[in-house]
Chain A
Amino acid sequence: MQIYLPIAEVSVNFFTLLGIGGIVGILSGMFGVGGGFLITPLLFFAGIPPAVAVATSANQIVASSFSGLLAHLRRKTVDIRMGVILLVGGLIGSGLGVLVFNWLRALGQVDLLVRLCYVIFLGIVGALMLAESLRAIRRARGGRVPSKPRRQRNWVHTWPLKMRFRTSQLYISAIPPLLVGLAVGVLAAIMGVGGGFIMVPAMIYLLGMPTKVVVGTSLFQIMFVTAFTTLLHATTNHTVDLMLALVLIIGGVIGAQFGTQIGLRMKAEQLRVLLASLVLLVCGKLAFDLLLRPAELFVIGGVGG
C-alpha cells in the first residue's frame, strides 16, 4: 500500500514507514533514547529527502518519548527536578547549536561535520558503555553481588549550589546537570537528534544517577527539546511532513509501549550492552561510508537558489 507524502513529495510504502516507526519506538521505550540517530538514516533508505527526514523524525520522537514517559511516570521512575534542570541547559544549548550550525553551513562542509560528529560521539560513547557494562556482567557472574549499589563519588560532587534530587537519591550541585543538558543540546542541534544516546551515559557515569531513573528522566528532557526543534523546523524550513510523522508515530507509540515492558524485565547491564552494541553498529556503518570509495562520486544537493 503506497502513501503519498505532501511535504516530502514522494510516494512510499505505508508498512515500511510503520515498521521504521515501530523499531525506533521499541528502542525508545527500552533505552530512553529518542532514536533520532537511527530513524533519520532509515528514512533516507526509504527515499525521503534528508531535510524532511530530519525535521519529521523530531516530531515523531516527541510522540514516542511522551508515550514512554507516561509509562515511566506511573512507575515513578522520572526525576522531574533533574529533568527540568537538564531541560534548561538543553534549550540554551540547542539555541547555541543552531547558531553554530548556521555558521558552519556558511563555511560549507556542514555534512561532513555532522557525519564526523556522529562517528566520534557514537564511537566513544558506545565503546565506553560496552566496556563498562561487560565488566559489570562479569562481576555479577563472579557471584560477588554488592549488597548496596555503589555510590559513585567523583569530582562533580564537590561543586557548589548543591541540590537534593530525591528520586535519584543524589545530593549534588546543579551545575553538572545544567552543563550536561547544555552540551547535549548543542550536539543535538548540530546532529539533528534528541541526544539520548549521549545523555543516558552522561547521567549514569558523570552524575551517578541510578539506571532505573535515567531512562524516564532522559525521555522527559528529550520530549521538550525535540518539540522545540520541530517548531523551529516547521517555521523556518517548512520541512515537517505531518502525514509521514503520523504514520511513524502510529508505529512508534505502539513500539514504545512494548519497549518499556521489555526494558523493565531486563537487567540494567544487559540493557547497556545492547544499547552500546547498537550505537557501535551505527557508528561503524557511518565510518565505513566515510572511508570506502562511494559507488557514485556525485551527489545532488538541495535545490539551489
Chain B
Amino acid sequence: MSRTLPIWAVCLGLGLGLGALIGTASAREDVVLGLSQNRVQINANFDGSEILIFGAVKREAQIPATPLEAVITVAGPSAPVVVHRKARRVGIWVNAETVQIDSAPSFYAVATTGAMHSVLSYTEDLRHAITVPRAVRSVGAEAEDPASYTEALIRIREADGLYATLENAVVMEQQTLFRTRIALPSNLTEGGYQVRVFLTRDRQVVSQLDTIIDVRKVGLERWLFALAQDQSLIYGLLSLVLAVLAGWGASAGFRLLRG
C-alpha cells in the first residue's frame, strides 16, 4: 500500500493537469486508473496474488446530483469449454450430453460500488458484457436446455474461486476517488488479463477505461513450460533421466544408511 500511494498521487495529479489543459467538453467524466502491479509473475512459490485497482474521476463541470457508481471487471484469457451432463443409463451415471460453450474466460471477477441491479441497467450489461453470465458466451447449443450448461459452468467455476461477483467491493469517495482489491487465485493461467473500469450514473455507463495486466511464468517455471512445448522429446527424456537418477540415488542412499 505504501508503495502504491505515490503512483496513485502521480496518476491523480497527471489526470487533473490533463483535464485543465483540455478544458472543453464540460459534461465529460473520465477515469484515471492506477494498478498496484501491471504484471503478475508466476514463480515456484506463487500462491495467488491480490491486485489493488484504484483511480480518480477527472471532470470539468460540477458534480451532478445523481450519485456516481463504479463497476470494475478483471477477465482472464477466453477459450471454448466443453461441459458434460451426467444421466443414469442402465443403472450407472454416464456423461449423457455434451455442450460446447463458445467462449468462457479462465478467470472473471466483477466488483461494484452497490447492488448490481442498482448500478447497471440490463441493456448496458448486454452491451458491455459485464456480469458473469454475460461474460460467458454460448450461442447455438443443440442441447435440450443449453442455459443450464452455462449456469453449471459458472457454478463450478465460482466454487473454484475462478468466477466472482463482488457487490459493494468498490469504495467510492466523494464521487471522485475509487479503489478495490481483486484476489487472483493460485490456479491462474498465463495471458493478458483485461481490466475494465465503468463509471455509471443512473444505471447508464458514462465512462469506460480498459487496461491489461500481464500474467506470466518466470524463471524455472517459464523454462520448464517452454521446454515441454518446444522440445518435448528432450523434455520427456530429461524427466526419465531424473526419474532413474532419483530411483538410483534413493536406493544407494538407503544402502549407505544401513552400512
B-contacting residues of A (Cβ < 8 Å)?
A: 2-4, 6-7, 9-11, 47, 59-60, 62-67, 69-71, 108-109, 111-112, 227, 230-231, 233-235, 238, 240, 242-243, 245-246, 249-250, 253-254, 256-257, 289-294, 296-305
Contacts and interface: CB of A to CB of B under 8 A. Distances in A.
Given A10-B186, A296-B156, A4 B93 contact: no
A61 B239 CA distance: 12
Interface in B84-119: 84-88, 91-95, 98, 100
Contacts of A289: 93
Contacts, number: 186
A2 B42 CA distance: 12
B254 A257 contact: yes
B83 A300 contact: yes
A303 B80 contact: yes
B183 interface: no
Given A231-B236, A240-B236, A242-B238, A9 B228 contact: no
Contacts of B93: 289-294
B235 A240 contact: yes
A6 B225 contact: yes
B250 A253 contact: yes
Nearest to B48: A11
B175 interface: no
A101 B221 CA distance: 31
Nearest to A25: B250
Interface string B219-259: 01110110011001101111110111011111100100000
A301 B84 contact: yes
A298 B46 contact: no
Contacts of A245: 239, 242-243
Nearest to B86: A297
A168 B240 CA distance: 29
Contact of A10 (B43, B187, B222): B187
B186 A304 contact: no
B11 to A, nearest CB: 31
B186 A6 contact: no
A250 B246 contact: yes
B38 to A, nearest CB: 20
Nearest to B89: A112
A6 B92 contact: no
25 contacts: A2-B46, A9-B188, A62-B247, A63-B244, A64-B247, A66-B247, A109-B94, A112-B95, A231-B233, A231-B240, A234-B235, A238-B232, A242-B228, A242-B242, A253-B246, A254-B250, A257-B254, A297-B87, A298-B85, A298-B155, A299-B95, A300-B84, A303-B81, A304-B81, A304-B100
B240 A4 contact: no
B96 to A, nearest CB: 9
B217 interface: yes
B82 interface: yes
Contacts of A298: 83-86, 148-149, 152-153, 155-156
A166 B178 CA distance: 81
Contacts of B189: 9
Nearest to B227: A242
A209 to B, nearest CB: 24
B66 interface: no
Contacts of B250: 67, 253-254, 256-257
- Of the candidates A63, A71, A227, the one having the most CB atoms from chain B within 10 angstroms of its own CB is A63
Contacts of A292: 93
A298 B152 CA distance: 6
Given A63-B247, A290-B92, A304 B82 contact: yes
B47 A4 contact: yes
Given A6-B225, A302-B82, 17 more contacts: A4-B221, A7-B225, A7-B228, A9-B187, A11-B47, A47-B187, A62-B240, A66-B247, A69-B247, A230-B239, A243-B221, A253-B250, A253-B251, A254-B250, A297-B86, A298-B85, A301-B83
B228 A3 contact: no
Contacts of A63: 242-244, 246-247
Contacts of B42: 4
B7 interface: no
A256 B247 CA distance: 9
Nearest to B157: A300
Nearest to B160: A47
Nearest to B217: A6
